[in-house]
């Protein structure tokens, strides 16, 4: 009996796009909402928390779909697509253990490939682009919100993210989709895309899940050495201190950013950016006199980590 119950919790693995779409439509015909959690695999407790958020967001019966797909169009050729960690068998065991996931969508490829060679797009090249007339060439740009923050150093990233998420939405056809707030700019870009393109999908932003020592959970953490991981704790420490500073009355943005940069550099980090932006529009704020978020990206060794902390304006 126990074995049968465990087998019943095994999610159905779907690789074909048409089969995934048909599966979602059958669930909806059964009166269930379809809740979707897109991932690139190598799952950790942060991903699993998104599944819990998806279940909690549904007002009634729900069928949860998790996608596992490492999206090549969001990586530049100099980035870590080839070394992005994966453990598909382990991911399936973790998803089955939740007892909440009905299907796993893991397509072999979501793009039409063209001829050999590499093409350019606006001076930036992704790991996807091919020369030739038959390759994928349709892109979604969220023109303002993709600027700044990670968009400065990763110029093809949000184009790739918005495009693949739109493709996944068209295939899975969810009622609800959940994204983690650790990737704060990504979450806001998706919210704006859904609004502007009239997707009938409720987007949920789920809070950051951290290790016991405060490090934000990330699939890339596995690449940190013990020493680098210890140094990386300076990210969350600097963010917590900055929020305390702001809430205690020193809300001058530049002073707070300088304080964070100093903390990270003293810990041995190489800062990509420290920015304070308005929570929804992501426009920079000079003083924290409205709901804001402090966003950080920094390198420790060969690993680029991002983190953030929301601040509500002092009353």
Instruction: Catalogue the active-site residues.
Output: 47
At 3, which helix (H) or strand (E)?
Answer: helix 2-8
The Cα 119–Cα 132 span in angstroms is: 9
Question: Which stretches of 149-291 are assigned E, i.e. beta strand?
Answer: 176-180, 202-206, 270-278
The Cα 120–Cα 311 span in angstroms is: 39
- Distances, alpha carbon 223 to alpha carbons 42, 89, 131, in Å: 12, 20, 33
The Cα 267–Cα 262 span in angstroms is: 9
Angle in degrees, CA 15, 16, 17, rounded to 5 = 120
| Nearest Cα to Cα of residue 77 among 136, 111, 125, 130 | 125
The Cα 155–Cα 151 span in angstroms is: 5
What is the residue whose two structure tokens read 């020493």? 227
């Amino acid at each position: 009996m126990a074995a049968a119950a465990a087998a019943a919790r095994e999610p159905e693995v779907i690789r074909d796009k048409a089969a995934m779409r048909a599966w979602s439509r059958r669930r909806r015909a059964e009166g269930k909402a379809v809740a979707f959690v897109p991932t690139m695999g190598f799952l950790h407790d942060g991903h699993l928390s998104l599944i819990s958020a998806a279940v909690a967001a549904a007002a009634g019966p729900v069928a949860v779909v998790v996608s596992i797909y490492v999206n090549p169009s969001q990586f530049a050729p100099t980035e870590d697509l080839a070394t992005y960690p994966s453990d598909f068998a382990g991911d399936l065991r973790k998803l089955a253990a939740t007892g909440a996931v009905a299907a796993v969508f893991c397509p072999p490829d979501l793009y039409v490939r063209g001829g050999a060679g590499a093409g350019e797009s606006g001076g930036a090249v992704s790991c996807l682009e091919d020369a030739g007339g038959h390759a994928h060439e349709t892109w979604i740009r969220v023109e303002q919100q993709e600027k700044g923050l990670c968009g400065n150093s990763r110029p093809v990233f949000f184009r790739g993210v918005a495009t693949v998420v739109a493709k996944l939405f068209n295939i899975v056809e969810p009622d609800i989709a959940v994204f983690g707030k650790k990737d704060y700019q990504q979450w806001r870009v998706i919210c704006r895309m859904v609004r502007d393109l009239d997707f009938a999908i409720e987007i949920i932003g789920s809070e950051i899940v951290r290790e016991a020592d405060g490090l934000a959970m990330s699939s890339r953490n596995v690449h940190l050495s013990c020493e680098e991981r210890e140094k990386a704790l300076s990210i969350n420490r600097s963010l917590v201190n900055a929020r305390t500073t702001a809430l205690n009355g020193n809300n001058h943005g530049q002073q707070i950013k300088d304080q964070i940069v100093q903390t990270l550099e003293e810990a041995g980090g190489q800062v990509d950016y420290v920015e304070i932006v308005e929570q929804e529009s992501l426009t920079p704020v000079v003083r924290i006199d409205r709901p804001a978020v402090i966003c950080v990206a920094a390198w420790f060794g060969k690993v680029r980590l991002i983190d953030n902390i929301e601040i509500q304006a002092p009353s």
